[in-house]
Structure 1
Amino acid sequence: MNDNKMTSVELRATWGLGTVFSLRMLGMFMVLPVLTTYGMALQGASEALIGLAIGIYGLAQAVFQIPFGLLSDRIGRKPLIVGGLLLFVLGSIIAASTVSIWGVILGRALQGSGAIAAAVMALLSDLTREQNRTKAMAFIGISFGITFAIAMVLGPVITHYFGLHALFWMIAILASCGIVITLLLVPSAKHHVLNRESGMVKGSIRQVLMNQRLVKLNIGILCLHILLMSSFVALPGQFEQAGFPPSEHWKVYLVTMLVAFVMVIPFIIYAEVKRKMKRVFIGCVALLLVAEIILWGAGSHFWTLVTGVQLFFIGFNLMEAILPSLVSKESPAGYKGTAMGLYSTSQFIGVAIGGSLGGWVFGNFDAQTVFLVGTMIATAWLLVSITMHEPPYVSSLRIVLKDAVDFDRLEQRLKAQPGVSAVFIVAAEKSAYVKIDSKVTSRPELEALVASS
């Protein structure tokens, strides 16, 4: 039997939870390209309140992300996922039923409060074996990028033909499908796996926050989503001024996203295989800076706007691919789950700041000033990124230990193994967390060493 082949339970868990995660993320992104234009018809709407409606989703996510992840350890993964999706459905229904911008703001806040990402990852850890977990996590990551692209196209199309209220009803239906999939298709875990590689651990947050390399990466994802949200507060109106109606915006997003997906692949390979992460990272931030400068000076020139959007999507998609990899590389052994949790929280804080700041600047000044602020943020980010170090090119592993084992002796043997850079053994969890250079050693070699101890 091929021990690295996914079982039917693992496949169901991966596909089911990946689908649930994607359906929910559609609700975040489908609104992004349309709320600025179609939302202005809502009672009491203003640019600042539209920005708040976009950003408050991220604020709620940031507040509840970590607490809900820890709560799932107590009440169970599936109950929390279903409860979070029910909150999301309720928020979507409120936003779909209201004629006021404040109703949409309330609905978006409720949508964001159903923070299930940590519980989804924890359940995936419960249902997959160590040797297949990386593949399962990678599937979730890929689904995020695909979901973003689909949402940028679907949002304008649905809103044009059926209206903004129909878009929120559609989002509610998709989230309801997520509940059905969770209850009927996703397997139930017989026991919880305390895995520090995929879950937050109490008492470890301080150590991660004190890690300067991880802090710089958290600043990176924060800035990236500030730029995304603030730019899309201003962009739809700029395309309208350029004579391109909202019903046609999806065409620009479709083409630029497809081009971006194709173009980022060689850079990802270069960064990972050639081990040039820092160079690609700095170049990516510089590209986002150039994109913001182009959008700042574009005015109502259509093709200049398209050029800025194209460069932005290339930089955005590339950064979304390499930032999680950098967090994994830089996180200390046994702290990857906590590092990723704080990374996700930083991402949603960026969503909150970007939407609110972009709306306020747009309402009090104009679209050009929004892009000017984006240029300033990208410049500051570039200065921070230049101070980054080349990351260690290592992977994180968790190896399950036997009951009767000399932990001190095992730790010394693992540390002496070529390609092993760090070892952290938690005897109470019967787990060894190891950072390895996969070009030098591998999981089977280390598992064989552990088995012989």
Structure 2
Amino acid sequence: MFGLFLILPVLAIYSEQLEGATPVLMGIALGIYGITQAMFQIPFGILSDKYGRKPIIILGLMIFIVGSLVAALASSIEGVIIGRALQGAGAIAAVVLALTSDLTREEQRTKAMALIGMTIGLAFMFALVVSPWLAFFIGVKGMFVLTAVLAVGAIVVIIKAVPTPVQRRNLEVRAVPAKMLELLRNPQLIRLDIGIFVLHFVLTAMFVVVPIILLERLSLPTRDHWQVYLPALIASIVFMVPMIILSAKKAWLMRIFFAAICILLFAQCLLMWRPLGVLGMTVCLFFFFWGFNLLEAMLPSIVSRVAPAAGKGSAMGVYNTFQFMGVFFGGFLGGLIYGAVGVTAVFVLCGLVLLAWAWIVFKAPQPTLLDSLVVRYQGNVSQADFEAVNGVEEAIIIDGESTAYLKVDKQLLDHAALSALTN
């Protein structure tokens, strides 16, 4: 993911130098990896169930390397689009999560998944800061080569340092296509899927024009763009942490969630008014990253709590598909609007999309938030036995696995009764 994030802050500026470049094609180059990620993540997951996690991860990284080199060698915008599409076709995110699940004990799995999410977030922030600096010293072509080198390093790590797991079919991680289609009819989950679509739509559309504003309107050289991104990101983290802590209380969760959308909307309003100078742009991006980072952290957690028993993997599969589609359409429509109307219109578009999302969240009923629990059991225990335990709202038993997937209210859960049942 770091390799994909690394290009985000500089591709819009670089694309203007390429043969055949137009704002629309620039936006497509920025977001095209989203459509191929959405297309290939589920097939890669299915292949990894059949052929093993590590071989499919290596295959995905090899496709990513080819895409990076194609983009590095391209002299036209069409060549970069092809390269970026190939980068996205190496869609291994779901397989990496499945590998993590296979290699961790059930009691440690939540921590491992949280660590991966935190690492991706840090990679995004680090990429924003170092990308303009790298573009100055090695050029964007060099950055594409660098992403290929990083992928080669990842292959070496997978081969040499990562154990080969005993295959397990954990439904808390696996995305099952039939189950995904069923979850598309779940209104609570669909509202969250729309949310991640909007969030990444806005992110990608903004980065069609933000680097251009910094370079052309504010006369800030590309190598110095980090001077805007870094303080905005640091301040956003400082303000985000207390709100995340507050959101841990169930009564505050959706209030903080709605407030984060409003913060994003406020950032778009500020950007529409053409902020004065580098300081003004830094303030605008602070509000944007504050809201963005809050929602990026909260959305997966809410999805996992709303998803049905044994359905978290499928729910996250739908969620990730909406996220990557948001990346593509944000780039495409951001470029289209920028070319047809101008910079300010892109922020108007983002503001309208965010306003629609805020309205959906405001009118929606409070989601039912439950925790997932996977337990092993011995003997002849039925689904009804588990659902009879106080605090267990839903139970799914997988025949032949002696495993039960539960949705529980931890405040009401009778731990003693559950322990007696499983032992």
TM band (smaller chain): over 0.9
C-alpha deviation, 1:299, in angstroms: 5.6
SS of residue matched to 1:204: helix
Question: Structure 2 CA distance, aligned partners of 1:203 and 1:405?
Answer: 28
Matches for 1:300-315 after TM superposition, within 5 Å = 301-315=277-291
Q: 1:70 to 1:44 in 2, by over 3 A?
A: same
Note the 1:16-415 alignment, pairs <5 A.
25-190=1-166, 192-240=167-215, 241-298=217-274, 301-402=277-378, 404-407=379-382, 411-415=383-387
The aligned residue for residue 388 of structure 2 is: 416
Could you tell me how far apart the structure 2 residues matched to 1:227 and 1:406 are?
48
The sequence identity of aligned pairs, in percent, is 40
Report if aligned partners of 2:101, 2:170 keep a CA contact under 8 Å in 1: yes
Q: Is the 8 A contact 1:264 1:317 kept in 2?
A: yes
**Residue matched to 1:448:** 419
Q: Is the 8 A contact 2:228 2:281 kept in 1?
A: no
Following the alignment from structure 2 to structure 1, what is the Cα–Cα distance between the partners of residues 122 and 345?
Answer: 31
| Higher mean C-alpha displacement, 430-439 vs 45-54 | 430-439
Question: How far is the alpha carbon of 1:278 from its aligned partner?
Answer: 1.2
Please report how far the alpha carbon of residue 96 of structure 1 lies from its aligned counterpart in structure 2 after TM superposition.
Answer: 1.0
Q: Which amino acid aligns with 2:419?
A: A
1:13 alignment partner in structure 2 = none
Match of 1:432 among 390, 398, 404: 404
TM-superposed CA distance for 1:147, in Å, is: 0.6
Letter in 2 for 1:196: L
- Aligned AA (1:451): T
Letter in 1 for 2:406: V
Q: Which amino acid in the other structure matches residue 336 of structure 2? A: W
Q: Give the aligned residue type for 2:185.
A: M
CA displacement 1:326-345 (0-9 Å, x = unmatched): 10111111111100111011
Report the Cα distance in structure 1 between the residues aligned to 2:177 and 2:84, rounded to whole angstroms.
29
SS at match of 1:286: helix
TM-score, with length taken from structure 1 = 0.90
Amino acid in the other structure paired with 2:33? Y
Structure 2 distance, partners of 1:106, 1:181, is 27
- Deviation of the 1:447 alpha carbon: 5.9
Q: Equivalents in 1 of 2:416, 2:46: separation in Å?
A: 33
Letter in 2 for 1:275: A
Distance 2:316 2:401 in 1: 20
Gaps of 5+ in 2: none
Q: Sort the Cα spacing of 1:358 and 1:177 in 2 relative to 1 into closer, same or farther, 3 A.
A: same
More moved, 123-132 vs 318-327: 123-132
Q: Is the 8 A contact 1:238 1:300 kept in 2?
A: no
Partner amino acid for 1:282? F
Whether the 8 Å contact between 2:23 and 2:336 is mirrored in structure 1 is yes
Shift of 1:126: 1.1
SS of match in other structure, 2:410: coil
Runs (5+) with no aligned partner, structure 1: 1-24
Aligned residues: 422
3-state SS in 2 of match to 1:200: coil
Matched residue of 2:225: which SS?
Answer: helix
The 3-state SS of whatever aligns with 1:163 is helix
Aligned 8 A contact 1:196 1:335 in 2: yes
Cα shift readout 1:2-52 (whole Å, capped 9, x = no counterpart) = xxxxxxxxxxxxxxxxxxxxxxx1111111110111221122222211111
**Distance across 2 between alignment mates of 1:158 and 1:149:** 15
Contact 2:231–2:282, Cα closer than 8 Å, also in 1:
no
Contact 1:358 1:370 in 2 (8 A): yes
Distance verdict in 2 for CA 1:368–1:266, change over 3 Å: same
TM-score normalised over the length of structure 2: 0.96
Distance in 1 between residues matched to 2:277 and 2:175, nearest whole Å = 47
User: How far did 1:160 drift?
Assistant: 1.0
Return the letter of the residue paired with 1:234.
V
The SS at the match of 1:396 is: strand
